[in-house]
Structure 1
Amino acid sequence: MSFEDLVAEAAAVSVDGWDFSWLDGRATEERPPWGYQRLMGERMARASVALDIQTGGGEVLAGVPRLAPTTVAVEAWPPNRRRAADHLLPRGAHVVADDGEPPFPLRANTFDLVVSRHPVRAWWDEIARVLAPGGTYLSQEVGQGSGAELVEFFLGPQPWADRNPQAARAMAEAAGLEVVDLRTARLRTEFLDIGAVVYFLRKVIWMVPGFTVDAYRPRLRDLHEKITADGPFVAHTTRFLIEARKPRWARDGDRGDT
C-alpha cells in the first residue's frame, strides 16, 4: 500500500476503547514478564468487592475469568464508558462515570481489591481512602520515557516526566500504604508500517498531544520512507508493577465519604 493509502486507512478506523487488535500484523509489543491480567485475575477470584480505576473500554477487566461478586469500574471518557458498559454489564459489573480526578465518586473503606492498568495518574490518597483495611491495590504503570524514540521523532527532545517506580513507592507510602511488590521491565515495540504509527498516536493521545495527520503529514512521510528503507521503526517502553496493601488497622473515614 502507498503512504496515502496507509495513512487514510489508519485515520478512518475507530480508536474508541483500549483494544489494540487492529495493530495485529502491523506492530509488535513485547509484554512484561509478570502477566498483569493473570495476576489481576488471581486476585479478583479471591476478592469480594473490587474496583477498576480508569478502566478504559473495560477490555482488560472483562478478560479475567471471574469477577468479584461486586465489581465496579470507573471511567471518565464517555466513548470508553459506553464500551466498558458493553463489556462489563453482561458480567454483572457496575460502570460508574467520574471526571478522572479526585475525589472518586465512591465511599471510603469499601474495596478489598483496587486495580488499574496504565493509569494516567495514580491518585494515591484516593486509592488509600477507598481501600478497605487489609485491601490491596495492584497496578501496571507506564514508566518514564516510554516510547521516547517515537515521540521525539515528531517532537524533538523532551523533558520527560518523572514516572519511576521509586517515586510511586514513596507516594504510596506517604498515603499510608505498604508496598509489597515492585517490579520493572524495559520492552521493545516495533511499528511495521506508517498506518500503525498513525493509529497508535490517535489512540494514545498523550504521546504526541494534538496529533493529527494533517498537522504531522511531512514528518509522517519521513517516517514512512525510513520504515520502507530500513525496516520496522523500533521504540522502547518501560512498565512497572506495583502492589500495595492498606494496613488492617487503618481507616480513612475521617477523610470523608463521597
Structure 2
Amino acid sequence: MDYMKLKEYWISEEEKSFKGWDFSYISKRKLEEPLPWNYDNIVRQYLKSNSILLDMGTGGGEYLLTLNHPYNNTFVTEAYPPNFELCKRKLTPLGIDVRQVFDDSCLPFENNMFDVIINKHESFDIKEVYRLLKPTGLFITQQVGGLNNKELSRFLINDFEEVISSEHNLENNLMLIQNQGLTILKSEECFPKLKFFDIGALVYFARVIEWEFPNFSVDSCFEKLCQLQSIIEQQGYIESEEHRFIIVAQKPKK
C-alpha cells in the first residue's frame, strides 16, 4: 500500500468544497442505519397548509423545499454565512422570509407568531421557542445527541475536547422542555451505526462536521487514518456510533 499516494488522495478530499447541507458527494461511500422514526413523516403529520412555519437552521433550504409549504407562510433562520447567502439566492426570490441568526435566545420574530417550528439538528433556546409559538403551537425537533461519533472522534483527535456535551440527550432535553411548560406528544432516542467504506469519505465528513472532529486534518491525524485504512482493508468498512433523538412538544392553549 502506497500511503503517500493515499495521503495525496485524502488531502484532495479534505479540500473539497461543501455547500448547503448536502452530503450527496459521499452518499455511496457511507451507510447510515435507518432511524426507527421518520422525521419527514412526523413533520407532515402536523403541518397544515395554512400553518405559519419556521424552519430553524435551514441549511441551504434543501429539506424545507421538499415540503412544498406555501412560501408566504414560511420563515427560516440560518447562521452559517455561506448557507445564509445561498438561502438569500434560492429562497428569498420565492417569497420565503430568510433571517440570519447567531443568538438562539434572541430570534427576530414576534410573540405567538408560529403554528409550527421545525428544527433538524439545530441548537435552540426553549424559552425563545415557547415565546414564538402560538397557543397550541408545535415544536418538532430531531437532534444529534452529545454522544454522536464520540468514540471515533476520541480515536482520531489527540487531546480531544468535546464541543457538544455528552449531556445533550433525550432525558435532559425533555426536562428542559417540560419545565418550560410544553406538553410532550412524542419522544424517542436511538444510537444507529454509521459505516464508511473508504477513508476519503471519512476525511470529507470530518472536515465538514468540525464541531465533532475539532482541529482535524489529514496531516495531524495521518497515523490514525492509516490505522483505519488497515481496518477497511480487512473488513471493508469502519464503523461509528451515532446518537439521535426526536421530540414533538405542544404549547398549552393559554
Q: Same fold (TM over 0.5)?
A: yes
Structure 1 pair 80–189 and aligned structure 2 pair: CA distance change class (3 A): same
Select the residue among 182, 189, 214 that pairs with 2:187: 182
- Unaligned 5+ segments in structure 1 are 250-258
Hey, what's the Cα distance between the residues in 2 that align with 1:75 and 1:223?
Answer: 35
Aligned-pair distance for 1:146? 1.3
Identity of aligned residues (%): 30
Aligned-pair distance for 1:188? 1.2
Match of 1:79 in 2: 82
Q: How does 1:225-244 map to 2 (within 5 A)?
A: 225-244=230-249
Match of 1:6 in 2: 9
Q: Equivalent residue of 1:14, what SS?
A: coil
Hey, what's the Cα distance between the residues in 2 that align with 1:95 and 1:190?
Answer: 35
Structure 1 pair 56–204 and aligned structure 2 pair: CA distance change class (3 A): same
Taking structure 1 as the reference length, the TM-score comes to 0.87
Hey, what's the Cα distance between the residues in 1 that align with 2:156 and 2:144?
Answer: 20
Match of 2:91 in 1: 88
Deviating more after overlay: 182-191 vs 81-90:
81-90
Deviating more after overlay: 87-96 vs 47-56:
87-96
- Unaligned 5+ segments in structure 2 are none
Structure 1 residues 74-119: Cα deviation after superposition (integer angstroms, max 9, x where no partner): 0111101122334433543111111143211111110010010012
Q: Equivalent residue of 1:199, what SS?
A: helix
Hey, what's the Cα distance between the residues in 1 that align with 2:95 and 2:151?
Answer: 41
Contact conserved, 1:15 with 1:199, CA < 8 A, in 2?
Answer: no
Aligned-pair distance for 1:24? 1.8
Structure 1 residues 131-172: Cα deviation after superposition (integer angstroms, max 9, x where no partner): 111100001011241112321211378775202212111101
Q: How does 1:131-210 map to 2 (within 5 A)?
A: 131-155=133-157, 161-210=166-215
Query: What is the Cα-based RMSD across aligned positions, in Å?
Result: 2.1
Match of 2:62 in 1: 59
Contact conserved, 1:178 with 1:245, CA < 8 A, in 2?
Answer: yes
Taking structure 2 as the reference length, the TM-score comes to 0.89
Aligned-pair distance for 1:34? 1.6
- Runs of 4+ in structure 1 deviating by more than 6 angstroms, as ranges, are 156-159
Contact conserved, 1:62 with 1:87, CA < 8 A, in 2?
Answer: no
Hey, what's the Cα distance between the residues in 2 that align with 1:183 and 1:67?
Answer: 29
Match of 1:253 in 2: none
Structure 1 pair 68–37 and aligned structure 2 pair: CA distance change class (3 A): farther
Hey, what's the Cα distance between the residues in 2 that align with 1:239 and 1:91?
Answer: 32
